[in-house]
Each structure stands twice: as C-alpha cells, then as structure tokens.
Amino acid sequence: MMAYSILNTSGHPLKQLLKLSSNTNLSGNTRKLETQHSKRDCRHNFYSIRLVKYWNSLPAELVQATSQESFKRQLDFEDDTGIQLLRCSVIEGDLFVVFTRIPRDASLPLLREITGSLLVYDVEGPDDLSNLLPNLTLIRGQTLVFGYAVVIKSTSLKNIGLFSLRVIQQGGIRIDNNPQLCYVRTIDWNVILQDQSAGVSSVKIVKNGLMCPNTCSSDCSVASQSTGRLSAVGIWSPSLRDISPTDGHCWSVNKCQSSK
C-alpha cells in the first residue's frame, strides 16, 4: 500500500526512496522499480530495497490500479489467491472460490483453462463472474465435485457471466440456492457439454431467482445448435424443451451465448 501511495502521490515526502526503471523494454508490469544495489549487507534489509523485488513481481493489472482503494482490494484478493495464480493461463487442478467476498474489480485475466472443476460456493460481491474469469474457455473435469465440473451454490450472483466458456469435457453442472441468480435456463448447456451423454453428465438447476425475465435480446434469436434441453426440474433430459429455439440463448439480456 505504501509503495502505491509513494509512486502515485505528487510530492510525497518519501518519493526519493523509490525510482521507476528507465528501461522501456519491460514485459508484464511496465511500472517496475529500479533495483538499488548495495555493498553493505545491513542495507539489504532496508524497506526500499526489499520492496523492489516484491513490487516488480506484481501483475500489470494491479500496479496500474486507478485508485488506492482499488489497489487495496485487488491486493487483498492476491493475498488470498496468491500472486502466481493471477498469472496462470492454465490451472492444473481445481479452482475453488469459497466462503469469501470477492472484490468487484478482482480478476484472473489470463486464465483460460481449468483441468479439474470450478466451485463457487458461499460467496458475495460481484453481480456475475465476468470480471473474475473473463477468458475462461475450457473446463476439462478431470476431477469432479460429486460428479460435477461446475458448481455454483449459495451466492449473491445475479448472472453467471462466464461469457467465454465454450467446453466442459467431463462432468455435469449444478447451480442451486442462488436466490438472485437469473439467466441460467437461457444458456444452451448442451453446446458447452458437447459430446457427453445424458448418463454421464447432468445439469441440475434449482432454487435460484424466482422473478427472472429470462428473455434474450433479439440479436440472440438463432436456431438451437443442440437437440436436448433441461427438464422442468433442472435435470438433464435430451427430449424435453425448456426454451424455444427462436428465443436464442444468452448469458444475460444483452450478452448472447456464442459457441465460437
């Protein structure tokens, strides 16, 4: 926090302690600090020297935060998730976001693949997961949560917001007990589950928002790409229809579902 304040406050009295690197050929964090060298061992423990390595390891999204409050929220999120996780494009294993309040500007912008499962349980904060997981495309389901590759339960979400999600290779989907959550049945889960059979993967959607418009924009009105639908009780059924194909499929009223 102090480093952010020093670097972003004009005339800060400790400004001379930290100096931005003059090297313009930087990858990742482009606001890296200049390394200060010392021949004396005692100076290696100085705040200004110890801070450089830590600050330079932070991702660009964090050091470029637009306010000190935003920086603090994201830094708290980093402390919980670990800095390395923010740099991951693939998580080898599961991603569990549980028993927490997610800052609205928290994000894992590089994450595209989870080899295990995604569990979002007992969390508050954002209206959807679009900022937290903006580029999550593939969930392999190599490890499952009671047979499910995606579990979203007991949250304050209003939409799911996994706009980039295209494929769940193995395992089902369970979304329940989210009292404000809408636009769950307007998603064509068949497309995301692809070639999985009804006996292997189930979709369970129960006890979510009751007063939901569940109406997609006219831009989403395209023919369905699959033959199956969710049954009235939310269990996978390849013969029952929950939405007319002419209604299209969407993640929210203005965000159409794409399979590309």
Domain end marker among 78, 109, 131: 78
With contact defined as beta carbons under 8 Å apart, do 113 and 137 qualify?
yes
Q: How many domains does the chain have?
A: 2
Indicate whether 159 belongs to any domain.
yes
Instruction: Tell me, yes or no, whether 29 and 91 share the same domain.
Output: no
- d(C-alpha 260, C-alpha 180), whole Å: 29
Instruction: Tell me, yes or no, whether 167 and 192 share the same domain.
Output: yes
What CATH number is attached to the domain comprising 138?
3.80.20.20
Instruction: Tell me, yes or no, whether 38 and 97 share the same domain.
Output: no
Indicate whether 149 belongs to any domain.
yes
Q: What is the pLDDT of residue 112?
A: 95
With contact defined as beta carbons under 8 Å apart, do 231 and 240 qualify?
yes
Instruction: Tell me, yes or no, whether 62 and 118 share the same domain.
Output: no
Model confidence pLDDT, tens digit, residues 93-151:
899 888 888 887 788 888 999 999 999 999 998 999 999 999 999 999 999 998 899 99
Place of tokens 């637009």: 66
Domain that holds residue 209: 86-217+247-259
Indicate whether 52 belongs to any domain.
yes
- How confident is the prediction for the chain on average, in pLDDT? 76
Q: What is the pLDDT of residue 227?
A: 42
Please enumerate in sequence order all residues whose Cβ is within 8 A of that of 56, keeping only pairs 6 or more positions apart, or say none. Answer: 29, 32, 33
Q: What is the pLDDT of residue 8?
A: 72
Instruction: Tell me, yes or no, whether 213 and 110 share the same domain.
Output: yes
Confidence of residue 231 (pLDDT cuts 50, 70, 90): very low
Instruction: Tell me, yes or no, whether 138 and 191 share the same domain.
Output: yes
Instruction: Tell me, yes or no, whether 55 and 28 share the same domain.
Output: yes
Structure tokens at 74: 């994201």
Indicate whether 168 belongs to any domain.
yes
Q: What is the pLDDT of residue 236?
A: 41
Indicate whether 224 belongs to any domain.
no
Which of 15-29, 147-161, 180-194 shows the lowest per-residue confidence on average (mean pLDDT)? Answer: 15-29
Indicate whether 95 belongs to any domain.
yes
Q: What is the pLDDT of residue 199?
A: 53
Of 30, 135, 124, 28, the C-alpha closest to 83 is 28
Domain end marker among 31, 51, 78: 78
In single-letter form, the type of residue at position 236 comes to W
The residue that leads in pLDDT, 253 or 63, is 253
Q: What is the pLDDT of residue 243?
A: 42
Percent of the chain with pLDDT over 90: 31
Q: Beta strands of 107-226 (E only): which ranges? A: 113-114, 118-124, 138-139, 148-155, 167-168, 172-178, 203-208
Instruction: Tell me, yes or no, whether 66 and 107 share the same domain.
Output: no
Domain end marker among 36, 57, 78: 78
Model confidence pLDDT, tens digit, residues 46-102:
555 666 766 776 777 777 777 877 776 666 666 555 555 667 899 998 998 888 888
Q: What is the pLDDT of residue 2?
A: 63
Mean pLDDT, residues 252-260: 84
The residue that leads in pLDDT, 21 or 131, is 131
The pTM of the full predicted model, rounded to 2 decimals, is 0.65
Instruction: Tell me, yes or no, whether 71 and 90 share the same domain.
Output: no
124-109-80 Cα angle (round to 5)? 50
Instruction: Tell me, yes or no, whether 212 and 91 share the same domain.
Output: yes
- d(C-alpha 31, C-alpha 51), whole Å: 13
Q: What is the pLDDT of residue 1?
A: 57
- d(C-alpha 36, C-alpha 18), whole Å: 9
Instruction: Tell me, yes or no, whether 159 and 175 share the same domain.
Output: yes
Instruction: Tell me, yes or no, whether 94 and 201 share the same domain.
Output: yes
Indicate whether 228 belongs to any domain.
no
Helix, coil or strand: residue 157: coil
Q: How far is CA 125 from CA 62, 70, 102, 149, 252, in A?
A: 19, 14, 5, 23, 18
- d(C-alpha 95, C-alpha 84), whole Å: 14
With contact defined as beta carbons under 8 Å apart, do 190 and 245 qualify?
no
The residue that leads in pLDDT, 131 or 194, is 131
